[in-house]
Structure 1
Amino acid sequence: MGYIDKEIPRPSDAVLIDTYSQTIADVVDLVGPTVSRIERIDGRPGHGSGFAISPDGLIITNNHVVEDSKAVRIRTANGSVGDGVVLGRDPDTDIALIRANMDVQAWARLGDSKGLRRGHIAVAIGNPLGFDWSVTTGVVSALGRSMRASNGRLIDDVIQTDAALNPGNSGGPLVSSRGEVVGVNTAVIMGAQGIAFAVASNTANFVVSEILRFGQVRRAFIGIAGDTVALPRRVALLAGVVQSATVRIRRVDPGSPAANGGLKEGDFVIAVDKLPVAGVDDLIRHLDASRIGRMVALTVYDVEGNLVTRYIEPVSRPA
């Protein structure tokens, strides 16, 4: 069949713009009522944002929003004001969990951040600079970033977005076009334009689960920093895995279990005890408290091009 010289019909610009606007408006109508303003009651004054994730008043925010406060004041989008207690916080991921001592009228759904792609619509809702319940939009600019938390540790699996964020947005939701929370807005680079960051929803979900079960996040520690990267197909075939992404080690702490076990900068960590590692969030989840003090088998494609098994004995994550 020969080539047909005919243009593919495309929607008009007006239709596309109207569809985009309607999508954003629907997202805001769905998630906006779940967003609250969080103010510290005890400790150093400060405020930020948060969002409810359950009808019984569980609210996610940033650790740096609550700091050392045990109690907070919550102002909801419908004008209700009440108090809440900080159930737990995790400085390593800048996530904190609050229990509101008041009725919650709406709650958001945590989506799967692993399904994000660069270019996906990103909607941020929060309380920047006192302009409460503001909405900004943009796209997912990059995935698998790392950034340093206030305690100096690296937060892995961070989402980069160009949705405008300002002080006060911290702890608010980054929402997909499906109305699912895919990130917790956490940081901006002062002086930069269009560069902001959110902790991935999968990481936040893990932290919330740990706090509800144990009151804190328990982690096994091996002493590496890594990035989520594409897994070369030839390596996937060699390892017999179907995943398209994995973790590449960016740093190995001297004297750490990873260093003692032979891990090196540039190695790919493909699996932990035969559990696939398709991203940093998988590695964090697999290295839970149950693996502290016992030998763990890491499937590694090393910098020399060999598929090897490294045996590491994780220790408890240092405070």
Structure 2
Amino acid sequence: MGFIDQSIVPAEDGGLLDVYSSTVASAVDLVGPAVSRIERIGGRGGHGSGFVISPDGLIVTNNHVVEEGRLVRITTPDGFVTEGRVLGRDPDTDIALIRADSSVGAWARLGDSKRLKRGHIAIAIGNPLGFEWTVTAGIISALGRSMRAANGRVIDDVIQTDAALNPGNSGGPLVSSSGEVVGVNTAVIQGAQSIAFAVASNTAQYVVSELLRFGKVRRAFIGIAADTIELHRRVALQAGVTQTTSVRLRRVEPGSPAEKGGLQEGDLVLAINDKPVAGVDDVVRLMDGDRIGQETAFLIFSVQGTIETKYVTPAARPL
């Protein structure tokens, strides 16, 4: 690729490039100091990225970065090295939580991934291929995706982006143009034009809270894969709901509680037990362990074009 001759770039385009560059740089300045290199201690070696989310040294990374390890080595951007212990991990979302043994300085706050829209800037920060604290940028191309994790389980509420990810980026933050962490980078599909994925921050926040409280994530299982989509105003008015997005069922597993309750592929989930559902993260949060064995009301806009209430009894998550 050759250099751009700035003399032939229209002034207004040059200004836009400057604004874009300043936006990315500002976001990196805010979040970059909180991003650390994470290395497993003992067992099979491996490394990835992580980022601090609280002043007391809580660090979010990927489950596949720590795997079965209990101790990790943490290296901060300024070269400070300390150790940490794994507080808990959730293979179903590829999220793990670490507490550093000593202060690691800067920290970043998990933002609200519901505020994202397709086309927004996405900035990935991490340690790919041993090159420390590398930054890549792209755009968000889809929200509320589902993808299959390494353990075969379906991860819900995934952000799709073209911000380049490489080995070592795993566990690093996906950052918005305003400098908020909106996702946890988790995977890239090779040979597919570098389509990359991150677990949305709202789901990551839920997982972190469950790991802190219970040491694991309690889940009710209904057997669906779903996407977050725009909700047509006519449907919202007909159903008496106020949200502008909802969840479309992309797959209903045969024999699952969802199928037994009458849910079908293509149905839109508008509310669960009268609580509005505006995104896949709402389904994840509302289907916690307390719902196991409890009949649960799903307000849906069916593939037949009718507003209906279906009753589903979630089961315990299969092993």
Same fold (TM over 0.5): yes
Structure 1 outlier segments of 4+, above 3 Å: none
Partner of 1:118: 118
Q: Write the deviation string for residues 1-36 of structure 1: whole angstroms up to 9, x where unpaired.
A: xxxxxxxxx972222222222222221111111000
AA partner of residue 53 (structure 1): I
Residue 147 (structure 1) aligned with residue 127 (structure 2):
no
Alignment of 1:233-272 (within 5 A): 233-272=233-272
SS across alignment from 1:163? coil
SS across alignment from 1:139? strand
Partner of 1:5: none
Residue 209 (structure 1) aligned with residue 204 (structure 2):
no
Q: Compare 45-54 and 296-305 and name the one that shifted more.
A: 296-305
Partner Cα separation in structure 2 for residue 50 and residue 30 of structure 1:
15
Once the two structures are TM-superposed, the CA of residue 293 in structure 1 deviates from its matched residue by 1.5
Partner of 1:128: 128
Residue 15 (structure 1) aligned with residue 12 (structure 2):
no
SS across alignment from 1:89? strand
Once the two structures are TM-superposed, the CA of residue 161 in structure 1 deviates from its matched residue by 1.2
Q: Compare 212-221 and 187-196 and name the one that shifted more.
A: 187-196
Residue 292 (structure 1) aligned with residue 292 (structure 2):
yes
Partner of 2:312: 312
Q: Write the deviation string for residues 189-229 of structure 1: whole angstroms up to 9, x where unpaired.
A: 11233421111111100100110111100011111111112
Residue 164 (structure 1) aligned with residue 164 (structure 2):
yes
Partner of 2:200: 200
Partner of 1:85: 85
Retained in 1: the 8 A contact 2:144–2:226? no
Q: Compare 53-62 and 157-166 and name the one that shifted more.
A: 157-166
Partner Cα separation in structure 1 for residue 262 and residue 191 of structure 2:
41
Retained in 1: the 8 A contact 2:86–2:98? yes
SS across alignment from 1:110? coil
AA partner of residue 245 (structure 1): T
Once the two structures are TM-superposed, the CA of residue 184 in structure 1 deviates from its matched residue by 0.6
AA partner of residue 156 (structure 1): D
RMSD across aligned C-alpha pairs, in angstroms? Answer: 1.4
Partner of 1:109: 109
Partner of 2:187: 187
Retained in 1: the 8 A contact 2:145–2:226? no
AA partner of residue 299 (structure 2): T
Q: Compare 18-27 and 181-190 and name the one that shifted more.
A: 18-27
Retained in 1: the 8 A contact 2:143–2:227? no
Once the two structures are TM-superposed, the CA of residue 174 in structure 1 deviates from its matched residue by 0.7
AA partner of residue 223 (structure 1): G
Partner Cα separation in structure 2 for residue 303 and residue 191 of structure 1:
34
Q: How many residues align?
A: 310
TM-score where L is the length of structure 2: 0.94
Partner Cα separation in structure 1 for residue 118 and residue 304 of structure 2:
31
TM-score where L is the length of structure 1: 0.94
Q: Compare 306-315 and 186-195 and name the one that shifted more.
A: 186-195
Q: Write the deviation string for residues 11-68 of structure 1: whole angstroms up to 9, x where unpaired.
A: 7222222222222222111111100000111222110000000010100001111111
Alignment of 1:42-57 (within 5 A): 42-57=42-57
SS across alignment from 1:12? helix
Partner Cα separation in structure 1 for residue 290 and residue 302 of structure 2:
26
Partner Cα separation in structure 2 for residue 303 and residue 27 of structure 1:
42
AA partner of residue 215 (structure 2): G
Q: Write the deviation string for residues 71-123 of structure 1: whole angstroms up to 9, x where unpaired.
A: 11111111111111111111111111101112121000111111111111111
Task: Label 1:84 to 1:316 Cα distance change in 2 as closer, same or farther (>3 A).
Answer: same
Partner of 1:61: 61
Q: Compare 200-209 and 20-29 and name the one that shifted more.
A: 20-29
Partner Cα separation in structure 2 for residue 316 and residue 60 of structure 1:
26
Structure 1 unaligned runs (5+)? 1-9
Partner Cα separation in structure 2 for residue 119 and residue 231 of structure 1:
18
AA partner of residue 247 (structure 2): V
Once the two structures are TM-superposed, the CA of residue 312 in structure 1 deviates from its matched residue by 1.3
Structure 2 unaligned runs (5+)? 1-9
AA partner of residue 132 (structure 2): D
Once the two structures are TM-superposed, the CA of residue 255 in structure 1 deviates from its matched residue by 2.0
SS across alignment from 1:31? helix
Partner Cα separation in structure 2 for residue 131 and residue 298 of structure 1:
47
Once the two structures are TM-superposed, the CA of residue 167 in structure 1 deviates from its matched residue by 0.6
Q: Write the deviation string for residues 138-191 of structure 1: whole angstroms up to 9, x where unpaired.
A: 111221222110111111221111111101000000111111001111111112
Retained in 1: the 8 A contact 2:36–2:51? yes
Partner of 2:74: 74
AA partner of residue 95 (structure 1): I
AA partner of residue 229 (structure 1): I
Partner Cα separation in structure 2 for residue 249 and residue 32 of structure 1:
36
Partner Cα separation in structure 1 for residue 80 and residue 124 of structure 2:
22
Partner Cα separation in structure 2 for residue 253 and residue 17 of structure 1:
47
SS across alignment from 2:117? coil
